[in-house]
Copies of this chain bind each other. A is one copy, B any other.
Amino acid sequence: MFSGLSAFPLTPMNAKGPDEAAFVCLIERLAEAKVDSIGALGSTGSYAYLNRAERARVARLAVQHAGQVPVMVGIGATSTREVLRLAEDAQLAGASALLLAPVSYQPLTSEEVYELYSSVSHELSVPLCVYDNPRTTHFEFSDELHGRIARLPGVASIKIPGVPAEPEAARERVARLRKLIPSHVSIGISGDPWAATGLNAGCEIWYSVLGGLFPQAALALTRAAQRGDAALAEQLSRQLAPLWAMYNQHGSARVTAAAAELLGYVNAPCLPAPLQALNNTERTTLASLLTKLAL
């Protein structure tokens, strides 16, 4: 399950907590689109804003409605104790894999992050994906640390936060990491604007925000890259450049939430407070863009 397109849906919220009906609809769309995997409770899925009971319930719903598509569940939290509890909950819910970011409050040292992954990986019965996302965790992995962690039992993939824009530099970046990690550990590209370049540079999977709401568009790009049509993958990404610009300005979660609200997939506001999706002016821009792109 650690190749192709992994689609990361929103966890739409209402006044009481997760909007279960809307979440199930998002999951069923992904199952129908036959994405390669679903990443429930990723950053886009607001895992960091839900409590343990809510996360267990969302994990269960994702697995129940994903059909044949394997589900990976985010288990990140500031404390190792809580991560272990979330791992147990997600495995009981039927998760096929787990996704763990080194969520921080006090800035973490490399040794602390290694020990976190070590403690957790030894307790799991499903594969683990290492989630490298310095924008939200404020922890910067060195490639050497990735190499150490990738050797822990059960580690199956690394979700990297982007690659250089230039194709040759991107290939070098992926090759450098590839040399330090075992061959059974896949490298996945995250940060949708870098998806085409990352896949063309040797990443085996796209951990995709776009795919969580627009699976067909994300599948088209992924399949082009997988069959070696790098030019088409880049072209499909270039067509989405205005969307990537909005991601860069507001964060992909806010843009995706506003898109889901505009298209009626979820009720507004769907982000957990204090997060806010786009304001009215920005929504008008996004609405025009969505009409033009026809995703």
Contacts and interface: CB of A to CB of B under 8 A. Distances in A.
A173 interface: no
B107 A251 contact: yes
A112 interface: yes
Interface of A: 17, 43, 48-52, 78-82, 102-103, 105-109, 111-113, 115-116, 119, 135-136, 138, 251, 253-254, 272-276
A190 B106 CA distance: 15
Contacts of A17: 81
6 contacts: A49-B79, A49-B105, A78-B272, A105-B136, A107-B135, A112-B274
Nearest to A114: B274
A52 B82 CA distance: 12
A254 B275 CA distance: 31
A237 to B, nearest CB: 23
Given A116-B274, A272-B81, A105 B105 contact: no
A58 to B, nearest CB: 14
B272 A111 contact: no
A106 B43 CA distance: 8
A76 to B, nearest CB: 9
B106 A251 contact: yes
B273 A80 contact: yes
Nearest to A50: B79
Contacts of A111: 276
Given A78-B48, A78-B49, A105 B43 contact: yes
The 3 closest A-B pairs by CB, nearest first: A48-B105, A80-B273, A116-B274
A275 B103 contact: no
Given A136-B106, A251-B106, A115 B276 contact: yes
Contact of A115 (B51, B251, B273): B273
